[in-house]
Structure 1
Amino acid sequence: MSVQATPGTPGETTPKGAWTITFLLFLFMLVNFADKIVVGLAGVPIMTDLKLEPEQFGLLGSSFFFLFSIAAIVVGFIVNKVPTRWVLLVLALIWALAQFPMVGTVSFTTLLICRIILGAGEGPAFSVAAHAIYKWFPDEKRTLPTAILSQGSAFGVILAVPALNWIIVNYSWHYAFGALGVVGLIWVAAWLALGKEGPLESTHPSLASEVKIPYLQLLTSRTFIGCCAATFGAYWALSLGLTWFTPFIVKGLGFSQKEAGFVSILPWVFGATIVILAGWISQVMMARGSTTRIARGVLGSVPLVAGGLILAMMPYANSAGLQIAFLVVGSGLCGAIYVVCPPMLGEFTPVSQRGAVIAIYGAIYTLAGMIAPSVMGSVIQRAGSTLDGYLTGFTINAVVMVASGLLGLLLLWPNTERARLTRAAPQADALKSAVSPT
C-alpha cells in the first residue's frame, strides 16, 4: 500500500465553483490582514492618545501573537474532523466582534486584550483557508490558488490603508476599528450564503485506504523544518511591516499621517506582484517538468536571501526615498515563500493529516510575529536617536531573512521527502499487520 499524500492525479478536473470559493477565501484573507494592519497604521495616534512608550507599543504589536500559534494548532486538528466551512465562519465572526470594543473610550489593557482575542481568531486563518482550498484543486494546480489566497493579505492592506487612514485622519482611530467589525460581519453573511465544502477529496476513493504517517515523522522531516525556518524570516519582516512601518514613516522619516497612509501601501503592492508572479512561475515550471525542489523550494528561498541583502543596505542610504525603496523591495521579495510552502507540505502529508500539519507549520513560523515587534520597540527605545533605532531594527530583520533563506535552500526537498515517506509506508503497514490480532 502506498502513501496517498494528495489524492489528486495529474490532469484531474477542477470542480465547478472552485474559483468562486477561491475568491471568497481571498476576501477572507483580505479582511484578516486589514484587521492586522490597523494598529500599525494608527500607531502614532494610539501612542499619543494612550501615552505609550515604544516598548509598550511593541508589546501591543506582539500581543496579537500571544495565542496565535496555540489557536492555529488546536484548530488545525479540529479541521481534520470538522468541515472547514463552519470553522471559517466561526473564525471570521470572532474577528468582527473583537473590533467593536475599540469604538468607544478604551484603555491600553482593553486594547491589549482585544488584540490577543483577535490573534487567537486569526491564528488558524491561512492554514484553514489553504486546507479548504486544496479540497477544490488537485496538487499540480494548487500553487496559483495559493498565491491568490495569500494575496488577500496584500490587497487587504492596499485597499484598507487608504480607507482606514482617511477615517483616522478625518474622524478617529476608534472608528477605524468599528469599520473593520462591520466589514467582517458582511463577509460572514456572504460565506453563509455561498460558502461550500470542497468535493475533490471527500469523494475520492483513495481516502479509505490512505496510510497515516506518525506526526513525529512528518514534523521532523527536513522539508517541514525548512518551511518553518524560511517562513519565520519572511514573517519577521511582515510583522514589522504590520506594526512599525507607518510609525517609521511618521516618526523616523518625518512624514505626516496622511502622507504615511499612501507610502504604507507600497510594500504590499510590490509584495503582491512578487507573490502572484512567483505562483505563476512555479506552476509554469512544474508544467514544464521541473522538480518541486526547484519550482517551489529554490524559487521561494532565493528571494528571501536577496531581500535580506537589500534590506541590509538601508543604513547606508543617504535619503528618505532610498531608505523606503530598500525597505519596500527587501521586505517585499520574501513573500514568495508563502506561496510555495503549503503546497510543498501538501505533497507528502496525507490528506487526513494535512490540516494539522499546515496549522502547526503556521503556528511555528508566526512565532516571529510575537518576537519581532517587541525587539524593534526595545531597540528604538534604547537607541541614540529614533531613526537609528529603526535602522538597527531593520538590520536585525535583514540578518534573520538571509539566515532563513539559506536554511530554506539547504532543507527544502519536497520531492525527495515524498519518495522517502512512500518507501517507509509499506514497512509501517507490515509492522501494523504483524501486531494486529488475527
Structure 2
Amino acid sequence: MAAPATTASTSIKTPKGAWRITLLLFLFMLVNFADKIVVGLAGVPIMTDLKLSPEQFGLLGSSFFFLFSISAIAVGFVVNRIETRWVLLALAVIWSIAQFPMVGDVGFTTLLICRVILGAGEGPAASVALHAMYKWFPDERRGLPTALLSQGAAFGVIVAVPALNAIIVSFGWHYAFGALGLVGLLWGAAWIALGREGPLADTETTATKETPVPYTQLLLSRTFIGCVAASFSAYWALSLGLTWFTPFLIKGLGLSQQQAGLVSVLPWIFGAVVVLATGLLSQVLMARGLSTRLARGVLGSVPLVAGGLVMAMLPYGGSPAMQIALIVIGSGLSGAIYVVCPLMIGEFTPVRQRGAVMAIYGAGYTLAGIVAPIVMGKVVQNAATALDGYVQGFVINAVVLVVSGLVGLALLWPESERARLAAYRAAMPKFA
C-alpha cells in the first residue's frame, strides 16, 4: 500500500544547494568521529601516563556516553522548533571548547569530565544532521545522501587516524586534542558562511497534509523498536572500535603505536564500502519497485547476522592477521543498519515530529556506548592474558550482533507502519 507521504514526495524536486549542504554535514560528521576516536587511538599513552587500569580506561571510554542520550533527546525536541543550522553551530562550538583543556597537563578526573561534556555536545549530532539533510531531499532520494552522511564517520576516522597518530607520536597525546578543537572551530566558521536551512520541511508538511500523532504511536511501533535493537549491536561494535581496537592491537597483538595507527583505519575503510554500497543498493531497489521491507529492513538486518557469525570465529583465527580480518569484516558489515534505519523512521514519522523521533532513536541505540567499553574493560582485566580478554570481549559483541540482527528481521516493516499511522490519522484527525 502506498503511503501518502511517499506519493507526495515523488512530486518534490531536490532543491538547488542540497549537495553543498550534504558536503558540509559530511564534514560535520567527520569532525564528530575524529573527536570520538582520539581517546582510543591514544589509549596506551593515556593509560601509561595516567597509570590507568583496563577498568578505568573502560570507564573513560564509557564516560563519553553518560549524557549522550539525554542531550540527544532534549535537543531532538528543540530542533522541532528551532532551525537546525543554529543548533549544528552550537554543537560544533561545544565540541571545540571541550577539547582544549587536554592540551595542558590533566588528571583522570579532568579528562573524564571533558569527555562527558564532549559526549553531551555530540549526542544530538547524527540525528540533527539527518533531520537537517532530510529538509533538502524527498524520501525516495535520501538513500545515497544518508549513506554519504554516515560516511562522515568512517572518513573522520580514516582521515584523522594518520594525522592524529602522527601528532601523538611526534608531540604527545595532549596536542591531538588541541588540534581537534581547532578543526571544530574551522567547521563552525564554514557553516556560518555557507550553511542554510532546507526548504522541504514546510513543502512536505503541506503536500502530505499530515497530522501529528501521539509519540507513543511512533516510539512503540515495531519498526522503531526494531531499529533501536538492531542499531544497538552495531553501535556496540563501533564503540569497541573507538575505544579498544587500538589498545587490542598494541597490548593484545604486540603492534607498535605507529603500526596500530595504520591498522586502525581498516575497519572504517571496509565499513565505508559497506555503508555506501548499502545506500546505493537500497536506492536502486526502491527505484525498481521493491518494498521498503526488503530494500531497507532486510538489507540492513542480514549483514548484522553475517557480521556476528564472522566475528564469532575470532577464537579460531590463529594468526594476528586473520584475527584482525575477522574483526574488520564482522564489525564493518554491521554498518549497513545505519543507512536503512533513519530512512525507515523518516518514512513513517510526520515531518514536524521527525527531529525528536530521530533523536530518541539515536539516544536508544547509543546506550551501547556506555555498556560496551566497560564490559570489555572488565573482561580484559579479569582474563588470564590481555589477548584472551580481548577475544572474549569481541565474541560477546558477536552474540549481540546475531541476536539483534534476528530481531531486526522480525520487526522491520516500515510500509506497514505507514499504513497503520495513516489509518490512525484518518480515524483521529485531531492531535490533543
Structure 2 distance, partners of 1:391, 1:205, is 50
Q: Which residue of 2 aligns with 1:109?
A: 109
In the TM superposition, what are the counterparts of 1:90-129 in structure 2 within 5 Å? 90-129=90-129
- How far apart in 1 are the matches of 2:399 and 2:205? 47
> For residues 207 and 362 of structure 2, what CA distance do their matches in structure 1 show?
25
**Which amino acid is 2:15 matched to?**
P
List runs of 5+ in structure 1 lacking aligned partners: none
1:33 matches 2:11: no
1:142 aligns with 2:142: yes
SS at match of 1:406: helix
Shift of residue 295 of structure 1?
0.3
Aligned partners of 2:8 and 2:208 also within 8 Å: no
Residue 409 of structure 2 corresponds to residue 409 of structure 1: yes
Q: Which residue of 2 aligns with 1:71?
A: 71
Seen in structure 2, the aligned counterparts of structure 1 residues 379 and 428 have a Cα distance that, compared at 3 Å, is same
1:340 lines up with 2:340 in the alignment: yes
- Counterparts of 1:29-428 in structure 2 under 5 Å? 29-204=29-204, 206=206, 209-428=209-428
Mean Cα displacement is larger for which, 207-216 or 156-165?
Answer: 207-216
SS in structure 2 at match of 1:150:
helix
1:209 to partner: Cα distance:
4.0
- Does structure 2 conserve the Cα–Cα contact (< 8 Å) formed by 1:7 and 1:204? no
Whether the 8 Å CA contact 1:123–1:363 is kept in 2: the answer is yes
User: Does the 8 Å contact 2:33/2:157 carry over to 1?
Assistant: yes
The two structures have a TM-score, normalised by structure 1, of 0.96
Contact 1:143 1:343 in 2 (8 A): yes
8 A contact 1:5–1:349 mirrored in 2: no
Deviations 1:57-90 (A, max 9, x none): 0000000000000000000000000000000000
Deviation of the 1:208 alpha carbon: 9.1
**What CA deviation, in whole Å up to 9, does each residue of 1:197-233 have, x standing for no partner?**
0011234562794201100110000000000000000
**Aligned-residue offset at 1:18:** 0.0
Letter in 2 for 1:168: I
The question of whether the paired residues in 2 share the 8 Å contact of 1:18 and 1:137 is answered with yes
**How far off its partner does 1:317 sit?**
1.0
- Opposite residue 427 of structure 1, the aligned amino acid is A
Greater shift, 200-209 or 224-233, is seen at 200-209
Alpha-carbon distance, 1:12 to partner? 2.3
Please state whether the residue corresponding to 1:190 is helix, strand or coil.
helix
Aligned partners of 1:7 and 1:94: how far apart in 2?
40
8 Å contact kept, 1:201–1:207: no
Q: Please tell me whether the aligned partners of residues 6 and 351 of structure 1 are also in contact (alpha carbons under 8 angstroms).
A: no
Amino acid in structure 2 at the alignment position of 1:410 = A
2-structure distance, mates of 1:106, 1:3: 55
Match of 1:10 in 2: 10
Question: How big is the shift at 1:143?
Answer: 1.0
Where 1:136 maps in the other structure, the secondary structure is: coil
CA distance in 1, matches of 2:124, 2:413: 25
- The secondary structure found in structure 1 opposite 2:428 is helix
Which digits, 9 at most, give the CA deviation of each residue in 1:111-157, with x for residues without a partner? Answer: 00000000000000000000000000000001110000000000000
- Deviating beyond 4 angstroms after TM superposition, the runs of 4 or more aligned structure 1 residues are 2-8
Letter in 2 for 1:320: P
The CA RMSD measured in Å over matched residues stands at 1.5
Q: Distance in 1 between matches of 2:87 and 2:318?
A: 49
Q: Distance in 1 between matches of 2:175 and 2:299?
A: 41
SS in 1 for 2:254: coil
Equivalent-residue separation in structure 2 for 1:7 and 1:25 (angstroms) = 27
More divergent stretch after superposition (202-211 vs 327-336): 202-211
For residues 353 and 297 of structure 2, the distance between their equivalents in structure 1, rounded to whole angstroms, comes to 22
Q: In structure 2, do the counterparts of structure 1 residues 204 and 220 end up closer, same or farther at CA, with 3 Å as the change threshold?
A: closer
The residue type paired with residue 52 of structure 2 is L
Cα separation, partners in 2 of 1:275 and 1:208, compared to 1, 3 Å: closer
Per-residue deviation, residues 310-350 of structure 1 (Å, max 9, x unmatched): 00001111100000000000000000000000010011100
